[in-house]
Structure 1
Amino acid sequence: MLDNITVVLCRTKYSENIGSVARACVNMGCPNLILVNPKEFDMDRALPLATVKGKKVLERAEVVSNLPTALASFHKVYATTARMGGWRKGILMAEEAAKRMTAEIESGAEIAIVFGPEDTGLTNEEIEICGSLISIPTMPDAWSLNLAQAVLIILYECFKLKPTRKLRPIITENSRLATHEELLTLYTHMQQALLDIDFLRKDNPDYFMMPLKRFMNRLALRRNEFNLLMGVCRQIRWLKSQVDKSKSD
């Protein structure tokens, strides 16, 4: 069972595709599905595609209004994309991502895999909210995949690596993995601290934070390490305020 993985469908247009995704989830033993602002979601149209086996996944799916709310409690977040190039760097192929996710699950992580709407995929802003990028290799002239196909392929890569036996991890509260919400808070404080010391360019700090975010997202940051980095950011900002105060005096 892929109990630690949640499929997140963002702005899905067709209820039938949501039903097919529920079926793919149950095929691979993933019971968790979140729908972010689906367009005119109709359970009656989705259920036939979910089949009897996927009905339970579909009925217990959580519906939320926005992506940050959907991702707040997860430790690792992966966005899916068919488009490459530009600023979309460090893209993992599905097999590579599955290996990374398997290791993260063994360390206690709860993982979200985000899929965009059928026609356009995720926006740049939605991808920026997420941590890492996954793409599925296809023929160059036929790169568009059905939503349920994409979900099934990525979950299958994870399913193949499912361990035959799982040891009980020993994790204390202080050493649990930092949640996605905590990481976003850290990035906000880190960006402001780096602006205070003129490390980031003020004309477009979000852009120049991207490499740092990509680096941080490769780490399995623990809660105590989150607290440490937050303390560093606070100290930087306090020292900067003291320097500014002394100059004004």
Structure 2
Amino acid sequence: MTKSPAIILVRPQMGENIGAAARAMLNFGLTDMRVVAPRDGWPNPKAVAMASGAGRVLDEARVAESVAEAADQCDFLFATTARARDMKKDAYNPEEAMKMARKMGGQGRRVGILFGPERTGLENDDVARAQAVVTVPVNPEFPSLNLAQCVLLMGYEWSRGLADAAPPPETAPDHATVIEVERLADHWEERLETSGFFFPPEKAPHMKRQFRNFWSRMPVSRSDVQLLHGALRQLVRRPGG
């Protein structure tokens, strides 16, 4: 059975938009909602009222404090964004992205899709954690999409190709999960911080973001992650320790 994607709402601002996103999800059979640091807290009565018949999506929604926590058990992240970013990532339109998601879902891999706050969209640090971005070819003079509209569009593209999705292979690829890559990035960032690599201090945030972007783009397996953890431990081990 093809695994459906997780819809990850990052710092959503209005309960009504969360409820509308839940309705859009259930329209296309999506039920895995994850909410990162909602501005107005959780549970949200306005979200429940707006969700109408899709209340069960909210009932089962997972609330997280960070993108990394919300991406638990995901193997691949798409970040939805309307503007160019100062980082190298593969970019797809919704049709292409959801075709990839169906292929990965057929392999037993879980895909997560990041949606940013209504006013500002995803921050660069959020996008840096994704393996690829999704952009919608809208009117350049008015590129803004409502949160629920964006969720609806991705859900539609996901569902319309399900009938033709390829059956899963006998052996699924041994790709590292998002959280495994996140822990590897944390390990390297911690060691580089200790060694004084991030210098001068005012450039440190950009340098760290570039590293996160690097790790997220790299297609690593679980054994690769273990190897890189071990190599780093050996590099920083003191002689005779």
* TM-score scaled by length of structure 2: 0.80
Secondary structure in 1 matching 2:158: helix
Equivalent residue, structure 2, for 1:35: 35
Q: Deviations over 1:57-105 (max 9, x none)?
A: 12211122332221233211222212214x1433332223223322322
Equivalent residue, structure 2, for 1:64: 64
Tell me: CA distance 1:3–1:104, structure 2 relative to 1, closer, same or farther (3 Å): closer
Q: What letter is aligned with 2:47? A: A
Q: How do 1:119-198 and structure 2 match up within 5 A?
A: 119-164=119-164, 167-171=167-171, 176-190=174-188
| Contact in 1 for aligned 2:175/2:219 (Cα 8 Å) | yes
Unaligned runs of 5+ in 1: none
Tell me: CA distance 1:47–1:84, structure 2 relative to 1, closer, same or farther (3 Å): same
CA RMSD of the aligned region, Å?
3.2
| Contact in 2 for aligned 1:25/1:152 (Cα 8 Å) | yes
2:45 matches 1:44: yes
Q: Which moved more, 1:32-41 or 1:100-109?
A: 100-109
Q: How do 1:1-249 and structure 2 match up within 5 A?
A: 3-40=3-40, 41=42, 43-52=44-53, 54-85=54-85, 87-90=86-89, 91-164=91-164, 167-171=167-171, 176-190=174-188, 202-203=199-200, 204=203, 207=206, 214=213, 216-218=215-217, 220-238=219-237, 241-242=238-239
* TM-score scaled by length of structure 1: 0.77
Shift of 1:118: 0.6
Q: Deviations over 1:187-219 (max 9, x none)?
A: 344567789999x87545664576665565455
Bigger relative contact order, structure 1 or 2 (CA pairs below 8 A, ≥6 apart): 2
Aligned residues: 236
Report the identity percentage: 29
Unaligned runs of 5+ in 2: none
**Larger radius of gyration between Structure 1 and Structure 2:** 1
| Contact in 2 for aligned 1:2/1:29 (Cα 8 Å) | no
